[in-house]
Amino acid sequence: MNQIKFILLVLACYFPLVSSAQTDYNLWLQYDKIEDSDLKQSYLKSVKGIKVLGNSKTLEASREELSKAYNSFFNQELETADSGDGLLILANIDQLPANLSNSVKPDLENINSEGYIIKSATQDGNKTILITAKTDIGVLYGTFRLIKEMQLHNDISNLAIIDSPKIQKRVLNHWDNLDRTVERGYAGFSIWDWHLLPDLIKPEYTDYARANASIGINGTVLTNVNANSLILTEQYIEKVKALAEVFRPYGIQVYLTARFSAPMESGDVDTADPLNAQVKQWWKDKADEIYAEIPDFGGFLVKANSEGQPGPNNYDRTHVDGANMLAEAVAPHDGIVMWRAFVYSEHDPEDRAKQAYSEFVPFDGQFKKNVLVQVKNGAIDFQPREPFHPIFGAMPNTPLMMEFQITQEYLGFASHLVFLPKLFEETLDEDTYVNGENSTVAKVIDGSLSNKKLTGIAGVANIGTAKNWTGHPFGQSSWYGFGRLAWDPYLDSERIAEEWLKMTFTNEEEFVDPMTDLLIKSREAVVKYMTPLGLHHIMNTNHHYGPGPWVSNLSRPEWNPVYYHKADEEGIGFDRTISGSDALAQYADPIAQQYSSPETTPEKYLLWFHHLPWDYQMDNGETLWHNLATTYQEGVEDVEEMVETWNNMEEYVDEERFKKVSMLLQIQLKEAKWWRNACLSYFQQFSDMELPESVPQPEHDLEYYKSLEFPFAPGIRPSWE
């Protein structure tokens, strides 16, 4: 061995130290060193230098991101260049010289203001790559896309990528309180350090913006829907402004939640009646005050007359009155109002699943054009599985915004591995049939079904101060996947899983293939071990941690699990057909008809729509009780399989994440068994039937499961609730 070879060997030994700097703080932006030398050579040939035309913080962020990635991929600097082979050009279309802008003119018609074009071209015999767009933000998105192509080890020698987001408002909702606790947050404290804002700008704020921009998220609601009106005071607006300035170069608008009674709490007005002139003026002044500080402020998200929150009903006014009053205040500034449809009343004996529809559908067409009605994916509340919300498709003249929950309030907190894009995809793909076949929820949301001008999608964030942002290392995949589906609601969740795994861990097939499979199956697993066959809302009280099918002592009937499963000696399930609550009538006809009989209802929704006897015969010829029990057991077995799969992944994952996920999977397995045991013990009282042989006997008796208490489970509501 000559000396050079020896030193190269030494060099090779040192590098693992560098690349082991991979930490889950970096999310899917790990930018792992490209080890394959052919691939590396081909990338280095394609990108030798960078030229940025134009001048803005957004273009600067694009250049910095590329430099960071390049450095990390290749251990070498990306140099600025003016011409030559391998030039990467970044510019929005207005900055391009004529020859270049002409070359992309036809493509331009196929992108919107946030879309981008990435194109390989040959100029004077030199190969170049051009990233261009109608706006600098488009260029930033294109930049992240080019980086991603390299993260995925795709060929970049001949690029022709054209892409645009299909939904306009792609927004995270943070249920973060001003005291830094996070309602339904399982990843530590709120990342917003209000006390030290605006003076301390943490690097996390920029990294949050980078991560969101990389997947196209363009808005963030900073505060809890259970709102505190202090956020609207001068003291806090100054803090919000500081965050907005960090986010602006990344194309992210900030929004706030508006507590409907804020005018009263400010001490300025003694009512919050939306038709009162002083109240209207108060909100207009407030909007002007905010926009003076934050010219690109996004607008307000409002939870009104829901679960104790104040709202227009307090003054015998309607949701339309309330939303339109706020909409008028922000309209001069191009702001929007996201008005939540999550309402149900303790005074209304009607099936809770029907109430939001009953309340909102009659208002169709009455909202101002800058109002989006924000509707949860299902009619109850972010359960492991719900049929799509019947409002989707039922308000053709109202922009409807989808609200998904990324934080796992009802899906095992941050300790269960559940890949939520699979759930999101299921809802988006469901067919409302309102304009005939293929009237999917996705088409409602992206506006294509009814030619909507304003479109939006929201995800309740699972982000906190945890060193890896989401607590569970795999919680990151749901944040990532939400962003991807917000950009394009027709994406396949399997593709999302695959790309996230590659970007976050490794491109090794032996890792990616089995883990993609694991991610995709993980959602069905949680449905099986928590709420199989259409069961829902049978969790424990307040913290929503663990099973509580026996709970029947809460003041509001529709807060009790017994309200939802209605188990008794006769059977189990909620009859939502015409013989029951008739919630089914809120769906368009092909569904309403198909689901009216248990025989033609998909088994996954069986007990959502039907109350059936324990010995009801299922498709496989077994009784309902038998299938209920075996499905719970299958859920447990699915988690056992996840454990096994993960154990084979040790060589592909850094030690810290490997161990953490191993421990978390053991928690998930323990809790899957707990759900199975507790729920089957409870339901068995009524079925009075033996467990199938394949299902183990519960370790404890029912009284034990009922006795468990968790007063300090995380994410509990603020005490006003």
Point out the catalytic residue in the list 409, 430, 499, 558: 409
The DSSP string of 268-326 is S-S---TT-HHHHHHHHHHHHHHHHH-TT--EEEE--SSTT---GGGGT--HHHHHHHH
Widest Cα–Cα separation across the chain? 88
Among 44, 161, 702, 713, interactor with a second copy by CB under 8 A: 713
Reference 465, options 223, 241, 180, 183; nearest CA is 180
- Nearest distance, CB of residue 18 and a second copy, angstroms: 5
- Nearest distance, CB of residue 590 and a second copy, angstroms: 45
C-beta closer to a second copy: residue 191 or 584: 191
Q: Is 650 in the site for a second copy (CB under 8 A)?
A: no
- Nearest distance, CB of residue 511 and a second copy, angstroms: 22
Whole-angstrom distance, CA of residue 495 vs CA of residue 376: 24
Among 202, 368, 604, 700, interactor with a second copy by CB under 8 A: 202
Q: Is 670 in the site for a second copy (CB under 8 A)?
A: yes
Active site residue 307: yes
Binding to a second copy (CB under 8 A) within 477-536 occurs at none
Whole-angstrom distance, CA of residue 54 vs CA of residue 95: 6
Per DSSP, helices labelled H in 392-508 are 421-429, 441-445, 475-487, 493-504
Q: Is 719 in the site for a second copy (CB under 8 A)?
A: yes
Q: Is 466 in the site for a second copy (CB under 8 A)?
A: yes
- Nearest distance, CB of residue 479 and a second copy, angstroms: 19
User: Contact, 221 vs 171, CB < 8 A?
Assistant: yes
Whole-angstrom distance, CA of residue 399 vs CA of residue 336: 11
Q: Is 7 in the site for a second copy (CB under 8 A)?
A: yes
Whole-angstrom distance, CA of residue 274 vs CA of residue 282: 10
User: Contact, 549 vs 561, CB < 8 A?
Assistant: yes
Distance of CA 262 to the CA centre of its chain: 28
Q: Is 656 in the site for a second copy (CB under 8 A)?
A: yes
Q: Is 203 in the site for a second copy (CB under 8 A)?
A: yes
* The dihedral sign for the CA sequence 687, 692, 696, 697: positive
- Nearest distance, CB of residue 710 and a second copy, angstroms: 8
C-beta closer to a second copy: residue 8 or 578: 8
For the chain, what is the total number of helices (H) and then of strands (E)?
Answer: 22, 14
Distance of CA 376 to the CA centre of its chain: 12
* Part in contact with a second copy (CB under 8 A); list of ranges 254-262, 515-523, 602-610, 655-663: 655-663
- The token duo for 361 is 């559908």
Per-residue mark of binding to a second copy, 38-57 (x: CB under 8 A): --------------------
List the beta bridge partners of residue 118. Answer: 131, 161
Whole-angstrom distance, CA of residue 169 vs CA of residue 182: 23
- Nearest distance, CB of residue 433 and a second copy, angstroms: 43
- Nearest distance, CB of residue 460 and a second copy, angstroms: 20
Q: Is 181 in the site for a second copy (CB under 8 A)?
A: yes
Per-residue mark of binding to a second copy, 11-40 (x: CB under 8 A): x--xx-xx--x-------------------
- Nearest distance, CB of residue 330 and a second copy, angstroms: 25
Tell me the pairing of strands 253-257 and 371-376: unpaired
Q: Is 469 in the site for a second copy (CB under 8 A)?
A: no
Reference 340, options 312, 349, 316; nearest CA is 312
Active site residue 656: no
Instruction: Please report, for residues 3, 171, 201, 239, 530, the alpha-carbon distance to residue 195 in angstroms, rounded to integers and kept in the order given.
Output: 58, 24, 11, 9, 39
Whole-angstrom distance, CA of residue 225 vs CA of residue 299: 13
C-beta closer to a second copy: residue 119 or 472: 472
Q: Match 């038709």 to its residue by tokens.
A: 275
Q: Is 699 in the site for a second copy (CB under 8 A)?
A: no
Binding to a second copy (CB under 8 A) within 342-381 occurs at none
Among 38, 109, 124, 199, interactor with a second copy by CB under 8 A: 199
Q: Is 160 in the site for a second copy (CB under 8 A)?
A: no
C-beta closer to a second copy: residue 239 or 626: 239
* Part in contact with a second copy (CB under 8 A); list of ranges 195-203, 337-345, 574-582, 627-635: 195-203
C-beta closer to a second copy: residue 77 or 109: 77
Active site residue 149: no
Long-range contacts of 346-351 (CB under 8 A, 24+ apart): 346/555, 346/556, 346/557, 346/558, 350/581, 351/574, 351/576, 351/580, 351/581, 351/583
Q: Is 200 in the site for a second copy (CB under 8 A)?
A: yes
- The token duo for 58 is 């957004």
Q: Is 267 in the site for a second copy (CB under 8 A)?
A: no
How many residues touch a second copy under the rule CB under 8 A: the total is 48
Whole-angstrom distance, CA of residue 52 vs CA of residue 79: 11
Q: Is 666 in the site for a second copy (CB under 8 A)?
A: yes
Q: Is 720 in the site for a second copy (CB under 8 A)?
A: no
Q: Is 365 helix (H, G, I), strand (E, B) or coil?
A: coil
- Nearest distance, CB of residue 399 and a second copy, angstroms: 34
C-beta closer to a second copy: residue 21 or 152: 21
Whole-angstrom distance, CA of residue 314 vs CA of residue 308: 11
Point out the catalytic residue in the list 204, 293, 296, 381: 381
* Part in contact with a second copy (CB under 8 A); list of ranges 150-158, 174-182, 349-357, 359-367: 174-182
Whole-angstrom distance, CA of residue 367 vs CA of residue 374: 13
Q: Is 230 in the site for a second copy (CB under 8 A)?
A: yes
Site for a second copy, rule CB under 8 A: 3-4, 7-8, 10-11, 14-15, 17-18, 21, 75, 178-181, 188-189, 194-196, 199-204, 230, 413, 415, 465-467, 656, 659-660, 663-664, 666-667, 670, 710-714, 716, 719
Tell me the catalytic residues: 307, 381, 409
